[in-house]
Structure 1
């Protein structure tokens, strides 16, 4: 028996601190056969256990494509011909016709959604909308993770069937996606039949390739965290509510229990070198980079084979292991495969995996599940020679009172209440502007109000009002003046015009760079900086003092000021559509920007000379900004 090292729950918890007995008895000589491998060598194979025997250096060689295939008696329930189809998998996407594919984590249904879940959804939604703004076809997938011990126990506690329990909470997450205006194309539930079949097919392929073996497993298991802990990661505690003495995980504080069982393991250690080589070749695969460095250190020092099933006596609520009804597939293996399910797996046409979007361009996750997505997920994909997602965006948490939101602590913010109070686009803006990627962000109502007043009312709304709702001029007149003016210079120079034009010209490239770097916060700040400068520009130029002059050159200066400032707000309105789709749509309507001229390429100084006539009633000239009216708390 080999004693495994305690793995710790950092990066989200895992199968750890456990013991696995990799030996399942001696090999009999009549069960050994050989198969050809790519390096031109032969490798022994134990047909009685359907496992390759590692070479002397412990590696498993890759079988040639023409070699006889290992077969499993498992049959997909939906297969009409009674046999599994054999697929070849691409190592990269096809150029030109792959949709942009972005995913959220699938949310566990043990509790109702809070603003932390909303933040994950919004990040993915903004990333998708940004790609659509730039003219690319994009796919967004979200959903719910519905299997596992926590759900099984929670349903039993309420005295309802597990599926009924899941149906109720899954609907709340679906409602949240609608409430935030999420442009998701898929909402997956791990209880969906097509997903369960995808999981079983994935298992079948892992087993076929020799990556699954059965052995004894023991360790401290935490139901709440869905993971094992090592002896150095637990401690004795007194439960405050009951006075009970319990064994608990040091990091989470949740109760653990000692488990001894026989289950299946994934040969993750066979992929250690490939994982480390991948991280080295792709240092920005996980954003922010600091989390990838932590993952590399963990893989280098702690990687062990992964327990990937549970006895059905302990976990009945889940996907059954193919060919073994006594075992249930580990919930995280089940959950991770959801990203493939909605990309069309396992029904991909040979060499056309990219048609459903795979590999994912960005997978949005919370920082507490980095290990699952940064270690287990690439290892599972590598085992089947499937393309890896292009990037993982691992965001920080929202806190309340500087503490992580937790249902048990009662310090959660209900996203539905927040949207009702502050408005949808206000919440979208606040969370994208102030949410943390590297560091946690603390939620406070006072911060929502401050951001609304400073950024949305005083900067965006104020500039739009100044150029489009003045009593002293009409925006369309200034746009027409620019369209018809001669190239002859005037003696009346407007200070700051060329500087503002340069800022407007640089706004779209700057935002695009930040979005490519998966930093919406910086992208938004770059746009607000230009609008702030445009407000300073119009204040300094004082066009209201020029409005009544009959001097052509003075009128020219007035038109220049109005037009230059309007170009800043028009371009910003286009670029901020992914963040505030409703409000920016209203802004562009107020400015008379045609629906077909609101694309990324239109956010260039001077690109559109057709706007200026409002498509909606602006109200009385000089009326208080109706785009961002006072919040109820301000009245």
Structure 2
């Protein structure tokens, strides 16, 4: 359990809270009581309660200066996937997302578009709401920083920071000058600024070395948050919780900033320069810094200020179990945010997941290059579940990720259509001329017949082929859970892909279409053993893929006859559910299923999947089958037997040999 109690503040100077008469309306519960806070434990949901706190996960709130892009969709989806994973593990979970709508960048963007700031925010915030709905995001809250309940909480927090923190640890007033970046909404120290040339005008400018965005020198009266006084407390949190920020190199990056770049934080802007924001309740000439305003959103939806006011009370959802952020906002969330929480006497978030950015065919997405992906169009083109699968499959915490239609097409055909869809139809929806069913196979398992057969044949080397899936069925679900608990969706999906690829290999090796032709009870039992093992792989995969592809996984489980109350992680074990299955297709001639009615139907962009691979498959496997999906299934089986590199080499050599023979 993470040791993230506010006791880390104990190394700071303590004194009586400074309670000014102008803040007399602050409730007593809002006043920092460090002794009470130190008794809080992250495993407690409230004093005297042993029940587990609900899981609370957040996305950053998205800035509405422009329409959403594929990076926003990715952040939403990965957060949603983690929330759904917690749910199928049996936990109560809540997710918060929303839009960040204050600040100078919004004020300028609205003016540029000839709109009032609120009208501008309404239009763009609605675009994010539409994306949330289109992406099947299971958020429980959608917050806007222009919501009145949020602005009320910001005012409460502000007055607390001014008047209810120990002496020297709360806000103080002073004069500030430095390099300010409107695009990043923050000041940068001198050592993180460099000269540059504006590409559009050739004008000499100063830019941030972190983001390359232009900075300008500003001098103004402002309120400060004494961030430097929290240095030891922050480092104590980092020391005691080595896995607090994932991946590890992001934690090292944040620690370096604390150790080498920490400065007191200017937390207001003159209203004469910035009036689009939450005003200081006691001084309307000052507007609260947009990042302070924005970060507080996580507390607003957790009930701070409305349902509870201090760590002595039942804090409901707080602290957040995980906060998902992009690498560009690491400092704000892992330095500024925990320091503010310590100042409020509240426990800090239990963890942060910091992801990288998406590029378009390995080039940085840019409006000027015309390669920015519209997420709504991408959903319409591929369908949301295949797109969610791709984003999670190609996710990386260690490098920027590449997006292209060709990459998606390859994944769609090979991993979704062939590895999942085609396997399902081979096992659960066989041709009318084939008489087997998953219901018959599962019934044979429930009656104990398959165990009798397995005990009789398990030790025979001649029958080893029929038991070759056992290890994968046992190991892959455990490996999947481990990767998901570590937030590595790509590695988790790889485990399911390999399980189903091995199952495709298993089906190709055991040839149930030949077994069904054999006579006798023993042969029938062998057939049912093969069908049962294959069905178990599909059922387990369907359960585990629910967070990633909620609709498609549900369709798969429905088609297998799996009951809704048996779709949690505890049932993702071979033999755990012995009450599912469906009847086989009637033996009488029936209408051929349209490929458009399959779980993963053809897409308009399927020809972009991998033309070279398709041609190699056609040439190499033409003698075996002319069906393109069966060729892909055979490829999966070959990869399971030989390894991907060996198969790629073999296909290339076979293709070259056959083409050469034709030409000669």
TM-score scaled by length of structure 2: 0.81
Residue 627 of structure 1 pairs with residue 599 of structure 2 = yes
2:382 to 394, 414, 422: 422
Residue 61 of structure 1 pairs with residue 9 of structure 2 = no
Tell me whether 507-516 or 539-548 shows the greater mean CA deviation: 507-516
2:18 to 62, 70, 74: 70
8 Å contact from structure 2 (residues 561, 581) kept in 1 = yes
> What SS is found at the alignment partner of 2:555?
helix
Counterpart in the other structure of 1:197: 152
1:129 to 58, 81, 84: 84
Counterpart in the other structure of 1:254: 213
Quote how far apart the aligned CAs of 1:164 are: 0.6
Residue 572 of structure 1 pairs with residue 529 of structure 2 = no
Counterpart in the other structure of 1:600: 569
8 Å contact from structure 1 (residues 141, 342) kept in 2 = yes
Q: 1:424 to 1:362 in 2, by over 3 A?
A: same
Separation in 2, partners of 1:178, 1:627: 21
Residue 403 of structure 1 pairs with residue 363 of structure 2 = yes
Residue 110 of structure 1 pairs with residue 65 of structure 2 = yes
Residue 183 of structure 1 pairs with residue 143 of structure 2 = no
2:490 to 521, 540, 548: 521
Counterpart in the other structure of 1:300: 259
Q: For this pair of structures, how many residues does the alignment match? A: 570
Q: 1:75 to 1:274 in 2, by over 3 A?
A: closer
Counterpart in the other structure of 1:19: none
8 Å contact from structure 2 (residues 437, 584) kept in 1 = no
1:311 to 270, 273, 278: 270
Separation in 1, partners of 2:399, 2:586: 43
Quote how far apart the aligned CAs of 1:474 are: 1.7
1:278 to 237, 255, 258: 237
Quote how far apart the aligned CAs of 1:256 are: 2.1
Counterpart in the other structure of 2:179: 220
> What SS is found at the alignment partner of 2:397?
coil
Separation in 2, partners of 1:149, 1:466: 58
Tell me whether 306-315 or 616-625 shows the greater mean CA deviation: 616-625
Separation in 1, partners of 2:404, 2:41: 46
Q: 1:70 to 1:251 in 2, by over 3 A?
A: closer
Separation in 1, partners of 2:465, 2:291: 57
Q: How does 1:549-564 map to 2 (within 5 A)?
A: 549-564=518-533
Separation in 2, partners of 1:530, 1:133: 20
Quote how far apart the aligned CAs of 1:545 are: 0.7
2:248 to 285, 289, 292: 289
Residue 462 of structure 1 pairs with residue 422 of structure 2 = yes
| Higher helix proportion (structure 1 or 2) | 2
> What SS is found at the alignment partner of 1:220?
strand
Counterpart in the other structure of 1:506: 475
8 Å contact from structure 2 (residues 57, 94) kept in 1 = yes
Separation in 2, partners of 1:62, 1:91: 21
Quote how far apart the aligned CAs of 1:259 are: 0.5
1:84 to 27, 34, 55: 27
Provide Cα deviations, 1:436-471, integer angstroms capped at 9, x if missing partner. 222111111000000111111111112211210113
Separation in 2, partners of 1:601, 1:488: 25
Quote how far apart the aligned CAs of 1:506 are: 2.7
Residue 269 of structure 1 pairs with residue 269 of structure 2 = no
Counterpart in the other structure of 2:409: 449
Counterpart in the other structure of 1:590: 559
Structure 2 residues without counterparts, runs of 5 or longer: 1-6, 608-664
> What SS is found at the alignment partner of 2:146?
coil
Separation in 1, partners of 2:190, 2:348: 33
Provide Cα deviations, 1:572-592, integer angstroms capped at 9, x if missing partner. 001101100111111111111
8 Å contact from structure 2 (residues 180, 217) kept in 1 = yes
> What SS is found at the alignment partner of 1:356?
coil
1:342 to 268, 281, 301: 301
Separation in 2, partners of 1:615, 1:175: 41
Separation in 1, partners of 2:201, 2:411: 43
Separation in 2, partners of 1:304, 1:245: 27
Separation in 2, partners of 1:240, 1:383: 43
Q: 1:614 to 1:361 in 2, by over 3 A?
A: farther
Q: 1:497 to 1:334 in 2, by over 3 A?
A: farther
8 Å contact from structure 2 (residues 483, 492) kept in 1 = yes
Residue 163 of structure 1 pairs with residue 135 of structure 2 = no
8 Å contact from structure 2 (residues 302, 318) kept in 1 = yes
8 Å contact from structure 1 (residues 500, 533) kept in 2 = yes
Counterpart in the other structure of 2:580: 611
Counterpart in the other structure of 2:639: none
Counterpart in the other structure of 1:480: 443
Counterpart in the other structure of 1:325: 284
Provide Cα deviations, 1:309-330, integer angstroms capped at 9, x if missing partner. 1111111111112311111111
Quote how far apart the aligned CAs of 1:232 are: 4.1
Quote how far apart the aligned CAs of 1:242 are: 3.1
CA RMSD of aligned residues (A): 2.5
Counterpart in the other structure of 1:23: none
> What SS is found at the alignment partner of 1:571?
helix
8 Å contact from structure 1 (residues 321, 329) kept in 2 = yes
Quote how far apart the aligned CAs of 1:410 are: 3.4
TM-score scaled by length of structure 1: 0.85
Separation in 1, partners of 2:299, 2:584: 43
Separation in 2, partners of 1:615, 1:581: 26
Provide Cα deviations, 1:230-289, integer angstroms capped at 9, x if missing partner. 344434444332343333334433322210111011111111111111101111100001
Separation in 1, partners of 2:41, 2:22: 26
Tell me whether 102-111 or 89-98 shows the greater mean CA deviation: 89-98
Separation in 1, partners of 2:11, 2:320: 29
Separation in 1, partners of 2:351, 2:585: 41
